[in-house]
Homo-oligomer: A and B are copies of this chain.
Amino acid sequence: MGIEQHEQIELELAILIRRLGSMTSEHAMDRSAYLLLRQLSAVKTAGVKSLAEALQLDVSTVSRQATALSRKGWITKLADPLDRRAFSYELTTAGQEMLCDYRQKRTDSIGRLLEGWTEKDQELFSRLLHQFNHSVREDSKKST
């Protein structure tokens, strides 16, 4: 029942996170950059504040990340015409390509990892991960 299961899951998650943290560093893009690009891709355009909220990071962190990505030519910084304090970022074509490419690489890695898995287990894993993320999301809503 419950308790041992939770302990087991707790352990697996701890391992998973550390392993995947180092796994992503194989490629050229780091996880944080990836997540920022992904977020920007999702919302099309956003300033550091809203990005920071979405990514649950400090604005200063996002500010630096955005500067870095901008230097790489993956995103562009646009002055907000209505609010002269504010800026919005959006993906460049190069950024879109990078994101797409990187996502493909990651997807391929996952595919390679799941080679020996049954189709059913893959589906289940996908569903349960989604479900778990949903639970985490709900939980963080509660505590806000």
Residues of chain A having any CB pair with chain B under 8 Å: 1-3, 5-24, 31-32, 34-35, 38, 55-56, 103, 106-114, 116-117, 119, 121-126, 128-133, 135-137, 139-140
Q: Are B56 and A111 in contact (CB under 8 A)?
A: no
> Which of the listed residues A2, A5, A22, A112 has the most CB atoms from chain B within 10 Å of its own CB?
A5
Q: Which 7 A-B pairs have the closest CB atoms?
A: A12-B129, A125-B128, A6-B111, A6-B110, A113-B135, A8-B126, A6-B107
Residues from chain B with Cβ under 8 Å of A117 in the complex: 131, 135
Q: Are B1 and A119 in contact (CB under 8 A)?
A: yes
Partner among B12, B18, B119, B132 whose Cβ is within 8 Å of the Cβ of A31: B18
Residues from chain B with Cβ under 8 Å of A7 in the complex: 103, 107
A104 to B9, CA, bound (A): 12
Q: Are A136 and B113 in contact (CB under 8 A)?
A: yes
Given contacts A9-B129, A14-B38, A113-B135, 19 further A-B contacts (CB under 8 A): A3-B107, A3-B111, A5-B123, A6-B111, A10-B107, A10-B110, A11-B38, A16-B16, A16-B129, A16-B136, A17-B21, A17-B31, A18-B35, A18-B56, A19-B56, A19-B136, A23-B140, A125-B128, A125-B132
